Amino acid sequence: MSRTPTWLPLIAMFAVTAIVFSACAGAASPSPGSASPSAASGSPSAVASASASASAASSAPFDATSYPETAIDCANPPQFEGRAYTGNISQIVAADQYTVEFHLCQPDVAFLSKIAFASNNIQDADWLQAHAKDKSYVRDANGTGAYQLKEWIAGDHLTLEAYPTYWGEAAKSPTAIIRWSKEATQRLQELAIGTVDGIDNVGTDDFQAVKDNPELALFDRVGLNVFYMGFNVDQAPWNDEKVRQAIAKGIDRQRIVDTFFPAGSEASKYFTPCDIPGGCGGDAWYEFDAAAAKQELTAAGFDFAQTYKMHYRTKTRSYLPNPPAVAQDIQAQFKDNLGIDVEIVVEEDATYLTNSSKGDFPLFLLGWGADYPDVTNFLDYHFGTGANDAFGPHFPDVEALLKQGSAEQDPAKRGEIYAEANGLIRQHVPMVPIAHVGSATAFRADVDGAHSSPIGNEQLAVMTPGDRNQLVWMQQSEPSGLYCGDESDGDALRACEQIFESLYGYELGGVEVKPVLAESCDPSADLKVWTCTLKQGVTFHKGGELDANDVVLSYAIQWDAKHELHVGNGGAFDYFPALFGGFLNPPAPA
């Protein structure tokens, strides 16, 4: 795999971040009190939406809140409809107007990277109270970022304008436009003629064309992603582990990479890319062996007379630049390699992620791009206690190991745990990892500050488009919404990142975390309590000044599935339980 020169040092730095924080930590904050299981669910009214304006704050005392009101007793987790709480957060406390404490059940060495992610951006509490229930916050926004939303013309573009009283460095361009086209050819054509200044996901066959054009510049993006074929292991015939193992041997992953993916891509040997520390321990994935695969299917009593549906969406992604062609090739491999007839079913782009997370598709194509450079982002999200139902019922043996790995501070011991987890995932085959795929952004050569991000969160505010007074960016699709607590598609998340901010963020074009809305978040000696001190004087675009209650409510309504403001867009809220182990009051299994 081709690698970005600065990438590996950043990964190495991240691998020791938790140890450094642990060594430098001060005394632990007081532990939250115990709670009976019945107290743990909390009440929606437990969090007052008390974000006040600067004038109000000067004349009234700050009414600090906690969620839930009484901390969860992690040693005796509460039961929700007969299921024990699996999350890792015990309580979130507004200690004072500018201090928030996160109390955890066990250490989380990737905590800072998790709170830096776009789904955990901080919203004004009054805005949430006014706009969550009717979902108006899906199409409107009140953030703290360098850009604010000016207009959203459905089907055409978003217009962002520089926020005049931004607390940090002002946006370089007064206006930024986000446009979209699912066709890589159109994106490149518009870049070449100058109607857009930058594009995402250069087409597989267009890398050289960009390099050969002196008016354009190519920025490679390392393949921190995985494209996979998933199974719902609860639905026949994919509910037979022997069948899934045979299918894993019958798909020629290298053929797909060589035929459809750009330079810098590689056939997957593990679900997690090997650039991620701890991602590639244990036995590598099954080698391609069509004859053995067909024999194993026959021995398992597989019904070759049936036709089986395979679901996918046509939206291009960094992990899948040509969905129709790849889907057709996999369909052909099922027939030619295994003697299985597969019907391709094209799903709606807008609902595909929500439906797949519910487990609606017995056999499907999907992928994942890194949000932060830790193995938890790949394995916990897909196979941990907070994972969605895309693959059907979870595997308890994998869940137990992942819980150990997320808390282990010793890199060598973590590696051993994840090697064992990789082996179990290989045994159970909830999916077939096919490729880690290279990609690139491209810009007009005169765009100062142009870059690509290994995690796909390019920052438009740092770019100056030559002598033009607006920057135009073109991506693959229209954002599905701007409340990113309940979005999981990269095009929506990138749009949110221009408008909203989290307590921490990522270095420009890299993966190291840095404070953003927090001055710092400091751990206790045991990494179970993180105390975040907020920046003061930060204002929201449409009113309100940042305080600790805004942080508590922003997290609480994602965490508690029965909170009155737990509404979202599609309502899946996939990220929060995947990052932090589970919901409070989780919904009943589908």
Concatenated DSSP letters for 451-468?
A: ---TTS---GGG-EETT-
Q: What is the DSSP letter of 400?
A: H
Q: Name the one residue in this structure whose structure tokens are 């007074």.
A: 469
180: Cα within 13 Å, side-chain hemisphere: 22
Q: Tens of pLDDT along the chain (590 residues)?
A: 333 333 333 343 344 343 333 333 333 333 333 333 333 333 333 333 333 334 444 457 899 999 999 999 999 999 988 888 999 999 999 999 999 999 999 999 999 999 999 999 999 999 999 999 999 999 999 999 999 999 999 999 999 999 999 999 999 999 999 999 999 999 999 999 999 999 999 999 999 999 999 999 999 998 999 999 999 999 999 999 999 999 999 999 999 999 999 988 999 999 999 999 889 999 999 999 999 999 999 999 999 999 999 999 999 999 999 999 999 999 999 999 999 999 999 999 989 999 999 999 999 999 999 999 899 999 999 999 999 999 999 999 999 999 999 999 999 999 999 999 999 999 999 999 999 999 999 999 999 999 999 999 999 999 999 999 999 999 999 999 999 999 999 999 999 999 999 999 999 999 999 999 999 999 999 999 999 999 999 999 999 999 999 999 999 999 999 999 999 999 999 999 999 999 999 987 76
Q: Name the one residue in this structure whose structure tokens are 């737990």.
A: 566
| Tokens matching residue 547 | 């305080």
Domain 144-222+439-485 has CATH 3.40.190.10: yes
Distance CA 71, CA 34 (A): 6
Distance CA 350, CA 346 (A): 12
Closest residue by Cα to residue 323 from 275, 268, 366: 366
Domain parsing of the chain, residue ranges: 7-136+502-580, 144-222+439-485, 225-435
Distance CA 222, CA 224 (A): 6
Q: What is the side-by-side strand order in the sheet with 341-346?
A: 266-267, 431-436, 225-231, 363-369, 307-312, 341-346
Residues 6+ apart with CB under 8 A from 540: 124, 127, 142, 143, 144, 546
Helices 241-250 and 290-299, packing angle to 10 deg: 160
Distance CA 234, CA 245 (A): 15
Backbone angles phi, psi at 62, to 5 degrees: -80, 125
Please report which residue ranges of 516-564 form alpha helices under DSSP H.
548-559
Distance CA 289, CA 291 (A): 6
Q: How many whole angstroms from its chain centre is CA 423? A: 24
Q: What is the DSSP letter of 26?
A: B
Between the alpha carbon of residue 501 and those of residues 143, 256, 497, 546, 559, the distances in Å are: 7, 38, 7, 11, 19
- Specify the CATH superfamily of domain 225-435: Dipeptide-binding Protein; Domain 3 (3.10.105.10)
Task: Indicate the Cα dihedral angle 336, 340, 341, 345, nearest 10°.
Answer: -100
Q: How confident is the model at residue 590, as a pLDDT?
A: 61
